[in-house]
Amino acid sequence: RAAGMGVISMKLVGEGRFTTREDRQASMRFAFQHAGVDSVTVGYKNTAEIDEAIENLNLALA
């Protein structure tokens, strides 16, 4: 960050391998609280997954 750069995390929900909401929440929480991640990319199959990702992100940043 000091050099004007940030960290982007990709495939944060394990390419669909994290099958429970708890696993997906833990992944987001770890990325933002322990890994110094500034931004994430997440793929979605439907709008419900987008809604869940927003909720998980809000929990991770709380």
What was the pLDDT predicted at 47?
A: 94
**What average pLDDT does the chain have?**
87
Instruction: Output the six-digit token pair for 62.
Output: 């709380």
HSE value, Cβ hemisphere, 13 Å, CA-based, for 60: 27
Each residue's pLDDT tens digit, 16-37: 788 899 999 998 888 888 778 8
Share of the chain above pLDDT 70, in %: 98
Instruction: Output the six-digit token pair for 28.
Output: 């987001």
Backbone angles phi, psi at 39, to 5 degrees: -155, 155
Each residue's pLDDT tens digit, 9-21: 888 887 878 889 9
Q: How far apart are CA 3 and CA 24, in angstroms?
A: 30
- Where do the domains of the chain lie? 8-61
Q: Residue 49: what residue type?
A: E
